[in-house]
């Protein structure tokens, strides 16, 4: 059989990434890179998908992942979707860490993979809004002023440095949405327009603020077309993944209100100067109460501006077109039906989309535990078998050092996995099995839990001394100590259950003693 082409997807746990993996999992050998675990992100699980939970902003960790992929045969295509974005307008340091340094890491470490194409996910927002009556096409310069746009501009330009290493394609996406919405600005607007709030009918300016929208299914079909025609775009070519034109707030309001209420509602238009005053007042109140609104003062500059687009060149180049039935005005009834039929799922999906991407402290802590693994094991063994170990851990003295080295390696890895995935159930299941084993070997719960406490102390000892953990001190207790504490409780609960069960067995069967297994480690 012909081997499947090999595909790397960064940002595999994101909105586009999850849908792309679902669409191509049968046709590609996929390496998904993401900061979230496969389970927590809802990404598909399939034999063709290998998942690497890694932060592209952490170069050493990413280097290990790319090294494994390179050793396994490299990849044909890399689609770079990983990026930070939010709608606060603030220059969050995550923009530079992920969108700039993270991209540089991915590009640098893609040498030697044998890539036939590097696909960079950019945005139409990387460009300034065109003058009234004009449209953006593929030749538009990436000259946007918003911090997100600035980092996308950087990405488009830095690709030129790698033209001699692998060809690249720049894809500028329109605003992506699904039948559950999942595009934060649209979610917030619908939540207001369809409510009984005082501002439910208010539109800013003339209601003509407009951008293009693209259904996620068309976004995925676009990427599939690029992947299928990998050799056709010229190196560095820009492609626009979009419908033509743009859709205004007034049009969306009329479509949404008409379908939801069953009759036409007229919007109330608020002049731009009043909008500016109102947004500043709302944000001042938000800072005082600790609940800032979604709408921010920086948004005023875009009132009544239209990001209209012409994508004919891309369509002719690829032979791809967005489907008319998936355009947002036509799809609005489907969105509203989902809202009405399953408001809990609607809220869950959109709250997840609203959540700001934050630094993944758990991945940093995982990396530090991996970095100090050898030293942690040596100190821990010294405490168990050292001068004070005979008094504090008497039963452990009957376990061979070799066997205990294996045990500490295993529990350390389970702890790291629980921290990496943020799923403590991994560690709790291990502690439950460990308790059953130690119970049969004649240990007492207190001694086993005391050993876990020692592991916690040793881990914190090394991490508190590491300058790379200076900004994580408050989180070390949350991720390490609390995980181990949960494990200790699980061990105590299991010992109690086993003790109760054994006592009942003696009473029922008249046994005077239930023998335990010999301690072997």
- In Å, what is the CA distance from 87 to each residue of 91, 174, 249, 414, 498? 11, 16, 17, 37, 53
H or E element that contains 168: strand 168-173
* Phi (first) and psi of residue 319, to 5 degrees: 70, 30
* Token digits of residue 315: 């369509």
Q: Is the pLDDT of residue 439 over 60?
A: yes
User: Residue 289: what pLDDT?
Assistant: 67
In a 10 Å sphere around its CB, with 0-12 CB exposed, 13-18 middle and 19+ buried, how is residue 122 labelled? buried
Mean pLDDT, rounded, of the chain: 89
| φ/ψ bin of 327: left (φ > 0), alpha (ψ from -120 to 50), beta (otherwise) | beta
Q: Length of the chain in residues, anyone?
A: 521
Q: Is the pLDDT of residue 135 over 50?
A: yes
| Spatial contact of 173 and 242, defined as CB atoms under 8 Å apart | yes
* Token digits of residue 411: 């529990």
| Spatial contact of 69 and 453, defined as CB atoms under 8 Å apart | no
Q: Summarize the confidence of residues 44-70 as an average pLDDT.
A: 94
Cα distance between residue 44 and residue 267, in whole Å: 42
Cα distance between residue 457 and residue 416, in whole Å: 15
Residue with tokens 């299928």: 228
| Spatial contact of 12 and 215, defined as CB atoms under 8 Å apart | no
In a 10 Å sphere around its CB, with 0-12 CB exposed, 13-18 middle and 19+ buried, how is residue 236 labelled? middle
211-229: per-residue pLDDT in tens? Answer: 999 999 999 999 999 999 9
| Spatial contact of 56 and 62, defined as CB atoms under 8 Å apart | yes
Q: Band of the pLDDT at 245, cuts 50, 70, 90?
A: very high
252-284: per-residue pLDDT in tens? Answer: 999 999 999 999 899 999 998 888 888 778 777
Cα distance between residue 183 and residue 331, in whole Å: 14
Cα distance between residue 294 and residue 87, in whole Å: 7
| Spatial contact of 136 and 113, defined as CB atoms under 8 Å apart | no
Cα distance between residue 254 and residue 208, in whole Å: 12
164-203: per-residue pLDDT in tens? Answer: 899 999 999 999 999 999 999 999 999 999 998 888 999 9
Q: Summarize the confidence of residues 43-63 as an average pLDDT.
A: 93
- Between 386 and 106, the more confident residue is 106
- In Å, what is the CA distance from 222 to each residue of 36, 108, 123, 313, 484? 25, 26, 14, 14, 46
User: Residue 53: what pLDDT?
Assistant: 92
Terminal Cα distance for the chain, rounded: 47
Q: Band of the pLDDT at 17, cuts 50, 70, 90?
A: very high
Q: Is the pLDDT of residue 207 over 90?
A: yes
Cα distance between residue 238 and residue 124, in whole Å: 11
User: Residue 191: what pLDDT?
Assistant: 92
H or E element that contains 211: strand 210-211
User: Residue 85: what pLDDT?
Assistant: 85
83-105: per-residue pLDDT in tens? Answer: 988 777 677 788 888 999 999 99
H or E element that contains 237: strand 237-241
User: Residue 511: what pLDDT?
Assistant: 57
Cα distance between residue 11 and residue 469, in whole Å: 25
Domains of the chain plus CATH, in order, are: 361-509 (1.10.490.20)
The CB-side HSE value for 371 (13 A sphere, CA atoms) comes to: 15
């Amino acid at each position: 059989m012909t081997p499947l082409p090999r595909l790397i997807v960064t940002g595999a746990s994101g909105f586009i990434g999850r849908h792309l993996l679902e669409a191509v999992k049968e046709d590609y050998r996929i390496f998904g890179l993401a900061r979230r675990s496969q389970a927590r992100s809802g990404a598909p699980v399939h034999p063709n998908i290998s998942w690497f939970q890694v932060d592209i902003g952490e170069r050493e960790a990413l280097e290990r992942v790319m090294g494994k992929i390179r050793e396994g045969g490299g990849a044909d295509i890399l689609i770079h979707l990983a990026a930070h974005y939010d709608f606060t307008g603030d220059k969050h340091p995550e923009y530079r860490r992920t969108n700039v340094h993270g991209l540089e890491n991915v590009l640098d470490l893609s040498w030697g993979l044998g890539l036939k194409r590097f696909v960079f996910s950019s945005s139409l927002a990387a460009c300034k809004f065109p003058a009234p009556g004009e449209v953006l096409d593929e030749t538009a310069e990436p000259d946007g002023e918003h911090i997100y746009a600035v980092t996308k501009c950087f990405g488009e330009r830095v690709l030129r440095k790698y033209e001699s290493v692998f060809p690249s394609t720049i894809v500028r996406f329109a605003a992506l949405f699904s039948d559950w919405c999942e595009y934060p600005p649209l979610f917030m607007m619908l939540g207001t327009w369809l409510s009984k709030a005082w501002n439910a009918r208010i539109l800013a300016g003339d209601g003509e603020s407009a951008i293009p929208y693209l259904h996620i299914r068309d976004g995925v079909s676009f990427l599939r077309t690029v992947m299928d025609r990998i050799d056709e775009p010229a190196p560095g070519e820009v492609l626009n993944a979009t419908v033509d034109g743009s859709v205004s707030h007034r049009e969306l309001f009329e479509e949404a209100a008409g379908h939801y209420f069953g009759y036409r509602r007229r919007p109330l238009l608020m002049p731009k100067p009043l909008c500016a005053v109102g947004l500043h007042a709302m944000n001042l109140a938000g800072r005082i109460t600790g609940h800032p609104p979604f709408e921010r003062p920086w948004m005023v500059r875009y009132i009544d501006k239209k990001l209209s687009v012409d994508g004919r060149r891309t369509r002719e180049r690829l032979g791809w077109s967005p489907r008319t039935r998936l355009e947002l005005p036509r799809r609005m009834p489907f969105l509203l039906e989902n809202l009405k039929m399953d408001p809990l799922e609607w809220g869950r999906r959109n709250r997840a989309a609203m959540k700001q991407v934050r630094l993944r402290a758990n991945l940093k802590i995982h990396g530090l535990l991996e970095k100090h693994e050898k030293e942690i094991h040596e100190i821990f063994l010294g405490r168990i078998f050292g001068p004070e170990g005979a008094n504090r851990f008497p039963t452990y003295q009957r376990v061979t050092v070799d066997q205990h080295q294996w045990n500490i390696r295993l529990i350390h890895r389970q702890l790291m996995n629980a921290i990496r995935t943020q799923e403590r159930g991994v560690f709790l299941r291990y502690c439950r099995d460990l308790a059953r084993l130690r119970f049969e070997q004649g240990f007492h719960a207190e001694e086993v839990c005391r050993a876990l406490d020692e592991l916690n102390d040793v881990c914190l000892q090394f991490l508190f001394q590491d300058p790379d953990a200076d900004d994580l001190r408050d989180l070390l207790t949350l991720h390490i100590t609390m995980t181990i504490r949960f494990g200790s409780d699980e061990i105590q609960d299991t010992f109690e259950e086993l003790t109760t069960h054994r006592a009942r067995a003696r009473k029922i069967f008249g046994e005077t003693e239930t023998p335990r297994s010999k301690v072997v480690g």
